[in-house]
Amino acid sequence: MIIVPVDRSDIRLAAAVHSVSWQESHRAFCKADFVALHSPEHQEAYIARKMDEGSRFWMLEDPDPAGVVSVKNSLIEDLYVLPDRQNRGYGTALLHHAVSQCPGIPSLWILENNARARKLYEKEGFRETGNRQAVTGKLDEIELAPKIEYRAAGPDDIDLVMRTRLDTLIAVNGLENDHLFDHDFLEAARKFFLEGDQETVLAFAGARAVGCATMCYIRLMPTFSHPTGQRAHLMNVYTDRTWRRKGIAFHVVSILIRRAWERGATEISLDATEEGKKLYRKLGFTESCESMTLGSGRMDDHENQLQNREEME
């Protein structure tokens, strides 16, 4: 299964999928002559016009064309799957792809009687916004958009937190999705989330966790600059690839920053990837070269230096 952009060379294939799917989905409540009007040729002209107006179309192939979707700005439209190719996850795959292409929080419109589509969108976290528009005298379209909810993770969320942690490590380290983690590492991570001095915030689109971040707390000797001795280190910042560029990471981290100040932390540190630096700068973080570190990998060098020093003395 692949999702490819539609251009002028394959617009006819996309139009054929769009036509068959549209006719089937509207047959029950539209007049027969109106349904027949939406022929492949008619839908080809429709798609071409929308592309000229700024919409981007994609087509799902497995291996033959099976579904289409379009996005204009952050509005998702034209999500159709051939009637005989449904219930295979194609609609969900097209929706995920469309969401990932939206520069902001996505929205879409569906006919109020389209229970099948509504079920799909609500499963992915979309909810009614309250906006509606009349299609006929008896039928309205309703607007749906995802409602992202944020909450602190508790002990009952340990499996979900562990999953998001592993997703973070896979993404940051370029690992395969089925990477097998060491058992001792998994147990140590699990114990830290359950017993360590940390706070983890999760972001949800419906029942699906789409983002997370963890603030770890460290108590050090007080200094003039840090009189409480309470430091914090931000880790585990991750957003599901589908939901990136929607402000989720900014919101999750902002919650944890406020909590850190409330707990008396006087400094928050982090280790940033190049991709993440833009976000952290936006939140007020600055790069620092003040600290020096000694890793356990240098233990042999350190012991050799001590031994040489003792022999010289």
* Angle 70-71-74 from CA coordinates, rounded to 5°: 155
CATH number of the domain enclosing 132: 3.40.630.30
Answer whether residue 59 shows pLDDT above 80: yes
Torsion 294-295-297-299 (CA) sign = positive
- Choosing from 88, 122, 146, the residue where a domain stops is 146
Confidence label for 313 from pLDDT (cuts 50, 70 and 90): low
Q: Are 183 and 252 in the same domain?
A: yes
Q: Taking a C-beta distance cutoff of 8 angstroms, is the pair 181, 165 a contact?
A: no
Beta carbons within 10 angstroms of residue 81's beta carbon: 26
Place of tokens 């040729």: 41
Answer whether residue 91 shows pLDDT above 90: yes
Mean pLDDT, the chain, integer: 90
178: tokens are 């089925």
Q: Are 89 and 108 in the same domain?
A: yes
pLDDT at 226: 84
> Does a structural domain hold residue 305?
no
Q: Are 31 and 88 in the same domain?
A: yes
116: tokens are 């099948």
> Does a structural domain hold residue 77?
yes
- Closest to 263 measured CA to CA, from 217, 201, 225: 217
> Does a structural domain hold residue 303?
no
Q: Are 255 and 181 in the same domain?
A: yes
> Which segment of 25-39, 42-56, 70-84, 144-158 scores lowest on mean pLDDT?
25-39
Q: Are 172 and 182 in the same domain?
A: yes
The Cα-based distances of 286 to 227, 257, 289 in angstroms read 21, 15, 10
Q: E strand or H helix at 16, and its extent?
A: helix 11-26
Beta carbons within 10 angstroms of residue 120's beta carbon: 17
Q: Are 152 and 277 in the same domain?
A: yes
Confidence label for 265 from pLDDT (cuts 50, 70 and 90): very high
What digits encode the pLDDT tens for the residues 177-215? 999 999 999 999 999 999 999 999 999 988 889 999 999
Phi, psi dihedrals of residue 124, rounded to the nearest 5°: -95, 15
Q: Are 102 and 127 in the same domain?
A: yes
Question: 106 by DSSP, 3-state: which?
Answer: coil
Q: Are 81 and 212 in the same domain?
A: no
Answer whether residue 85 shows pLDDT above 90: yes
What digits encode the pLDDT tens for the residues 123-153? 888 999 999 998 777 889 999 998 899 999 9
Range of the domain at 242: 148-297
pLDDT at 301: 66
Q: Are 268 and 188 in the same domain?
A: yes
Q: E strand or H helix at 37, and its extent?
A: helix 32-37
What's the one-letter identity of residue 170?
A: I
> Which segment of 7-21, 88-102, 239-253, 295-309 scores lowest on mean pLDDT?
295-309
* Direct distance between the N- and C-terminal alpha carbons of the chain, in angstroms, rounded to an integer: 70
pLDDT at 256: 96
> Does a structural domain hold residue 312?
no
Average pLDDT of span 242-251: 91
Output the furthest CA–CA distance in the chain (Å, rounded). Answer: 101
- Which ranges of 86-127 does DSSP label H, i.e. alpha helix? 90-101, 115-123
Answer whether residue 234 shows pLDDT above 60: yes
Q: How many domains does the chain have?
A: 2
> Does a structural domain hold residue 307?
no
